A and B are shown apart, each in its own frame.
Chain A
Amino acid sequence: MDVSINVLVVDDFATMRRIVKGVLKELGFKNIVEADDGSSALQELKKDDFGLIVSDWNMPKMTGLDLLKAIRADDKYKNIPFIMVTAEGQKDNVVEAIKAGVSNYVVKPFTPDTLKEKLEKVLS
């Protein structure tokens, strides 16, 4: 797993960004950028090359699902691994995210080990 990549963490709650960042740092990632919703994430994507996006689903202005769809529709970003970290664990949500091209799906709350395992799968 290449830990030198830039990672974009997207969540409207600072608490969850902090928890996700904590796990990423434990795994050795150093280049972590935060955004508080999908539209600010798209602005961040323009500034640098990212090797991974970890995003919440429910956010104001632009949801994680809309962000995922926008990324998969854009030739510049469509191959970036995208992990959805969300409180929405209902079947319809998971199916919708898979259809939109999500790389993996983590239901909140999660243990650090669960997130690590999903990150390793996506980045190996």
Chain B
Amino acid sequence: MDVKLINPFIDATMYVLETLASTKATAGKPYVKKNGAAQGDISGVIGLSGEARGTISVSFSEKCIAGIVSQMFGEEITGVNDEVKDAVGEITNMISGQARQRLEQEGRILKGGVPTVVVGKNHSITHITNQPVIAIPFESQYGGFSIEVCIEDSE
């Protein structure tokens, strides 16, 4: 996978959380995901299609997403409920949209699908692909979270 494809997703993630929830996130070092890494309590997953195919996922711990959604709504949210699931879907959707807008500037046109939200303590997302999955850890004032990006190289 072309590493130049990763930066738009990192930038998009920081921009979305800052704009939507006044949450400053800093990205750690990207790494190739091995089985079982990058676990979370709630994840949003979205498929990408067009000139290349792939998936991206965003995984949060319960504490982290509760902090972010509380900030978004201006009221205290303590755990994962339907509102939080809905918000994770929308956050994933926006990260996908923002990243694709940035990729367009580099001449890569991708379409985004409809997000799916997965909930469960310490689950891990499996991307069905023979391509490497790049995981990027983030830190925020509400705790850590991660994104995973997997895009097939276009010919």
**Interface residues on chain B, number (Cβ under 8 Å):** 24
- State the CA gap A85–B89 with chains docked (Å): 16
Question: Helix, strand, loop or mixed for chain B's interface?
Answer: helix
A27 vs chain B, min Cβ distance (A): 16
Bound Cα distance A40, B22 (Å): 33
A15-B90 contact in complex given A60-B114, A87-B96, A88-B97, C-beta closer than 8 Å: yes
Interface size on A, residues (CB 8 A): 21
* A58-B89 in contact (CB<8A): no
Q: Is the CB of B98 within 8 A of A89?
A: yes
Smallest CB separation, A81 vs chain B (Å): 23
Cα–Cα, bound, A89→B99 (Å): 10
A90-B114 contact given A15-B72, A108-B94, CB 8 Å threshold: no
B73: which A residues are within 8 A, CB to CB?
18
B44 to chain A, nearest CB (A): 11
Query: Which residues of A59-113 have CB atoms within 8 Å of chain B's CB atoms?
Result: 60, 86-92, 107-111
When C-beta atoms are compared, the residue in chain A nearest to B22 turns out to be A111
Instruction: Assess A14 versus B72: contact at CB under 8 Å? Given A87-B96, A89-B101, A90-B101.
Output: no
Binding site for B on A (CB under 8 A): 13-16, 18-19, 22, 58, 60, 86-92, 107-111
